[in-house]
């Protein structure tokens, strides 16, 4: 192979390599973290939530009871997960690992600000989408979503920007 051909191949590879670095996928940039917690609320027997369910803190219980539609006699925490929020990709939270019975899908709607983000938010139960909403989340504020009936009670999904 001639030296000229070898040099042109090297130059071509360097040029293509430079293009690969210049075209980074900015959609995968992390713009924050989302924390999703699932609670079980009931006026009946709280043990229906299962063995993994845990008592919740008094402050959380008082906050839930302060909302008329979220007022129940008993609350249990079923699970939580924190996931990164990507700039322009859909994200999934699976708060009841290893179960995929409850999933939360979220995707940014606009460019996130420093302490807030606007999301498309979906709740999936047993692999079926049961709720879709737009959510404007601010740091330090929880969004509570009253979910479907489940085991003689209701699910409550808490969504917040994680610090």
Mean pLDDT of the chain: 83
Q: Which residue has the tokens 């990507």?
A: 86
| pLDDT the model gives residue 5 | 46
* Nearest CA-CA partner of 147 in 31, 62, 40, 72: 40
What would the pLDDT profile of 87-133 be if each residue is shown by its tens digit?
A: 878 889 988 888 888 899 999 887 777 788 889 999 898 889 988 98
Residue 114 confidence (pLDDT): 76
The reported pLDDT for the residue numbered 7 is 43
Residue-wise burial string across 55-93, b where 16 or more C-beta atoms lie within 10 A, e elsewhere: ebeeebbeebeeeeebebebbbbbbebebebbbeeebeb
Per-residue pLDDT tens for 47-63? 999 888 999 999 999 99
Residue spans of the domains in the chain: they are: 25-161
Closest CA to 59 of 1, 142, 150: 142
d(CA 148, CA 139): 26
Res. 163: pLDDT tops 60? yes
Q: What is the pLDDT of residues 8-54, one digit of tens each?
A: 554 455 445 555 454 566 667 788 899 999 999 999 999 999 888 99
| 134 within 8 A of 143, measured Cβ to Cβ | no
pLDDT of residue 9: 52
Lowest mean pLDDT among 72-86, 97-111, 143-157: 97-111
């Amino acid at each position: 192979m001639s030296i000229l051909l070898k040099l042109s191949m090297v130059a071509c590879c360097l040029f293509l390599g430079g293009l690969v670095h210049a075209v980074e996928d900015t959609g995968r940039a992390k713009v924050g973290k989302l924390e999703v917690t699932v609670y079980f609320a009931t006026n009946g027997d709280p043990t229906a939530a299962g063995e993994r369910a845990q008592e919740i803190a008094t402050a959380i219980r008082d906050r839930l009871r302060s909302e008329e539609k979220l007022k129940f006699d008993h609350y249990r925490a079923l699970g939580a997960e924190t996931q990164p929020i990507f700039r322009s990709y859909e994200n999934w939270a699976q708060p009841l690992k290893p179960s995929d019975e409850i999933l939360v899908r979220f995707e940014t709607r606009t460019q996130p600000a420093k302490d807030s983000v606007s999301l498309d938010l979906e709740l999936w139960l047993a692999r079926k989408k049961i709720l879709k909403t737009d959510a404007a989340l601010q740091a330090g504020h929880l969004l509570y979503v009253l979910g479907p009936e489940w085991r003689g009670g209701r699910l409550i999904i808490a969504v917040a920007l994680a610090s």
